[in-house]
Amino acid sequence: MDAYVKSHIEHGINTIEFFHPQSNSLPGKILEELAREIHFAGTHDDTKVIILKSGGDKTFCSGASFDELMAIKNEAEGLKFFSGFAHVINAMRKCPKFIIGRIQGKCVGGGVGIAAAVDYAIANSRAEVKLSELAIGIGPFVVGPAVERKIGTAAFSVLSIDAANWRSTDWAKRKGLFAEIHDSMENMDEAVYNLANTLAHSNPVAMAEMKKIFWKGTEHWDTLLKERAAISGKLVLSEFTRNAIEKFKAAVKK
């Protein structure tokens, strides 16, 4: 299947779904379309609540596209690519509608950032998490503020430093990344849609005001995340990172 971002509104519930055949990785085009759809949903009167999900039944999101990382030739291109993550997170932050995350599988790198930026994450028991950026010579600079806001500095430091190992879904729930865990896809989906239906019938003005409170203190993120994108955009050009990505890609092919 080809990569896509699509949305569907029914009974006040706007479901935004993204997909990429490489484990739901995020190339620049997907990031751009995802930010646009979230922004539009936030301004759409028919949308009362948003469900953010990915296609397939395995990985929720594997983060940045390695092919695009390797194609970056200068700092300007690096800034542009990593700013794509900044735009998605800022679109989620500014959206006046609650965003429910349907996390059906593993989250890696930028995928952890997206899971952290939803307002309420409901996960499958297979949804392990890993911030793998340091393992390839960069760091979780752009998604870091969203992850740290949700799970705290100590847990964020653990994920960032121990970049090669997975943390369990139970760990993620204990730290506050996930609100609920369900043992089956069916139970997870039932929980997602039950909550979405309840919120679709709640007071939209009250929910918008609540979201402002929940995200208080992040008003400077437009500038902050762009600055962080510049750091990643510079580091990705290093020989260390290039070699690390090539080794990782070779290992995956085996």
Residues 6+ away with beta carbon under 8 Å from 181: 123, 124, 125, 127, 169, 170, 173
Mean pLDDT of the region 195-207: 98
DSSP state for residue 1 in the 8-state scheme: -
Average pLDDT of 238-245? 93
Mean pLDDT of 188-202: 98
The 10s digit of each residue's pLDDT in 77-104 is 999 999 999 999 999 999 999 999 999 9
CA–CA gap between residue 231 and residue 199 (Å, rounded): 38
Domains of the chain: 4-184 (3.90.226.10)
Bridging pattern class, strands 25-26 and 107-108: unpaired
Confidence of residue 117 (pLDDT cuts 50, 70, 90): very high
- In this predicted structure, what is the pLDDT of residue 247? 87
Q: How confident is the model at residue 254 (pLDDT cuts 50, 70, 90)?
A: low
Amino acid residing at 196:
A
Contact 101, 52 (CB under 8 A): yes
Question: What's the pLDDT score for residue 210?
Answer: 98
Instruction: Say whether pLDDT at 215 is over 60.
Output: yes
pLDDT above 70 coverage of the chain, percent: 99
- Residues 141-183: tens digit of each pLDDT: 999 999 999 999 999 999 999 999 999 999 999 999 999 999 9
Q: Which tokens belong to 102? A: 């349907």
Q: What are 23-41's pLDDT values in tens digits?
A: 999 999 999 999 999 999 9
176: which residues sit within 8 A by CB, 6+ positions away? 150, 151, 152
